[in-house]
């Protein structure tokens, strides 16, 4: 479809929707909440607000000749990892950025949003075709940071002795008792994975290609908190036989005895969530576990983690439905459905590598995904803090195997004869 008034209006609406959603997410927070940094892997909420604004300013508006009067040193302070753009504040020091103020950052966001609307209003068909890929990437980039913002706020609040709630009006999570695990069997064979050539996808989802799968089965539900309590009770964190060597060393060094944000009081397990401290629901999917923990649990359970190609083959054709951001629960919840999307990002056994034929985009945006293709594992499926429009069956999330502040869980897999 050509670039006409209808498509122009649709793009303006998309920009407004995504940018306003970020502002809605910070409404329950104070300026003090948005300044600190919980740990080196996290970022302050104010930084997320500024960085997503910096992205549009740097890659779209400045090349088009727009001056949004960014705060002093914004190019240095709010660049994340784009070496081609220039030097930047090291991530562990983002919490030290007390200036510009939150008010200054929000005013800059307003100027950038107004400039984006003018850019779209003035673009003819040719100009729009030039900016559309970067505009779409910027919107998806901001949705990623919406999820990161919630992850980082939870990491911060979990350190607060008072266990504050991000929101006290979240949708309830009570649900059915988790059924016994069943298995979905697949014949394997030649299949295709990766995003089609048309439509938006990140560069790491392409090119679409053929892979061979042996017969396999996936569990018909996620591993639950109750399942994990059984793992703990059986000494799962005490038996090195279940663990990879690096995982065992990490667990011992870090003192892991349960998933992140869990604590025990008088024999009862509690978890810190965006709704505050809650009693652990045994039927809710377990969350905030590392790859090392997920792999150890799978070995203890006599199973394994799925390959990412197995997960994608199983998810092919399934609608993106489940406990995602729009459900407004913002923590895992018991479900009677056999959902493949939502609640938690599911660890796979697949290292995060490039697909055959992968080529990064030209310029600085080529650093978006490709430079991280080492030392990480792939997760699939989306979580309870992931925008629904941001998820698809080919989406490849990735984290380092020791990390667990993200909303990560697991589904078991096994080989079939």
Q: Where are the domains of the chain?
A: 5-158, 183-415
CATH number of 5-158: 1.20.120
Rounded average pLDDT over 88-102: 97
Looking at the predicted structure, is the pLDDT value of residue 4 above 80?
A: no
Looking at the predicted structure, is the pLDDT value of residue 1 above 80?
A: no
Q: Report residue 122 as tokens.
A: 């003035």
CATH 1.10.760.10 fits 183-415, yes or no: no
Q: Which pLDDT belongs to residue 39?
A: 97
276 phi-psi bin (left φ>0, alpha ψ -120 to 50, beta other):
left
CA–CA dist 129, 275 (Å, integer): 43
Percent of the chain with pLDDT over 70: 98
Calculate the average pLDDT of the chain.
Answer: 95
Q: 87: buried, middle or exposed (CB in 10 Å: 19+, 13-18, 0-12)? A: exposed
CA–CA dist 42, 80 (Å, integer): 12
Rounded average pLDDT over 34-56: 98
pLDDT in tens, 300-355: 999 999 999 999 999 999 999 999 999 999 999 998 667 899 999 999 999 999 99
Q: 273: buried, middle or exposed (CB in 10 Å: 19+, 13-18, 0-12)? A: buried
Looking at the predicted structure, is the pLDDT value of residue 273 above 60?
A: yes
Looking at the predicted structure, is the pLDDT value of residue 380 above 80?
A: yes
* 5-158 and 183-415: identical CATH topology: no
Percent of the chain with pLDDT over 90: 88
Rounded average pLDDT over 134-147: 96
The answer to whether residues 153 and 191 touch, using CB atoms and an 8 Å cutoff, is no
Rounded average pLDDT over 256-264: 98
- Compute φ and ψ for 184, nearest 5 degrees: -100, 120
Rounded average pLDDT over 375-400: 97
The answer to whether residues 47 and 153 touch, using CB atoms and an 8 Å cutoff, is no
pLDDT in tens, 147-182: 999 999 999 999 999 999 999 999 988 888 888 999
Looking at the predicted structure, is the pLDDT value of residue 212 above 90?
A: yes
Rounded average pLDDT over 54-70: 97
Looking at the predicted structure, is the pLDDT value of residue 364 above 80?
A: no
């Amino acid at each position: 479809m050509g670039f006409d008034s209808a498509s122009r209006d649709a793009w303006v609406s998309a920009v407004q929707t995504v940018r306003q959603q970020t502002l809605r997410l910070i409404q329950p927070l104070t300026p003090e909440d948005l300044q600190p940094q919980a740990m080196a892997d996290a970022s302050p909420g104010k930084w997320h607000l500024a960085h997503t604004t910096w992205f549009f300013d740097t890659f779209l508006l400045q090349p088009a000749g727009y001056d949004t009067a960014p705060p002093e040193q914004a190019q240095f302070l709010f660049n994340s990892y784009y070496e081609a753009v220039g030097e930047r504040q090291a991530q562990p020091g983002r919490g030290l950025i007390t200036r510009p103020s939150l008010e200054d950052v929000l005013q800059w966001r307003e100027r950038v949003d107004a400039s984006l609307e003018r850019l779209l209003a003035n673009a003819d068909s040719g100009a729009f075709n030039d900016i559309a890929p970067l505009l779409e990437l910027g919107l998806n980039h901001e949705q990623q940071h919406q999820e990161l913002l919630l992850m980082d706020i939870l990491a911060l609040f979990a350190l607060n002795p008072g266990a504050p709630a991000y929101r006290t009006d979240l949708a309830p999570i009570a649900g059915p008792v988790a059924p016994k695990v069943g298995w979905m069997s697949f014949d394997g064979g030649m299949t295709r994975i990766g995003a089609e050539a048309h439509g938006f996808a990140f560069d790491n989802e392409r090119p679409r290609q053929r892979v061979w799968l042996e017969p396999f089965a996936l569990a018909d539900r996620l591993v639950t908190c109750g399942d994990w309590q059984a793992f703990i009770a059986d000494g799962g964190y005490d038996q090195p036989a279940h663990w990879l060597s690096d995982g065992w060393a990490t667990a011992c060094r870090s003192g892991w005895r349960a998933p992140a944000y869990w604590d025990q009081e008088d024999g009862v397990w509690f978890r810190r969530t965006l709704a505050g401290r809650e009693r652990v629901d045994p039927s809710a999917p377990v969350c905030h576990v590392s790859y090392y923990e997920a792999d150890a649990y799978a070995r203890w359970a006599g199973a394994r983690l799925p390959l990412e190609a197995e997960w994608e083959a199983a998810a092919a054709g399934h609608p993106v439905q489940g406990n995602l951001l729009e459900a407004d629960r913002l923590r895992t919840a018991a479900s009677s459905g056999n959902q493949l999307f939502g609640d938690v990002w599911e660890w796979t056994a697949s290292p995060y590598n490039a697909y055959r034929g992968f080529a990064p985009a030209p310029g600085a945006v080529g650093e978006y995904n490709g430079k991280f293709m080492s030392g990480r594992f792939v997760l699939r499926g989306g979580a309870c803090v992931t925008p629904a429009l941001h998820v698809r069956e080919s989406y490849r999330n990735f984290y380092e195997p020791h990390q667990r502040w993200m909303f990560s869980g697991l589904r078991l897999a096994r080989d079939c004869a």
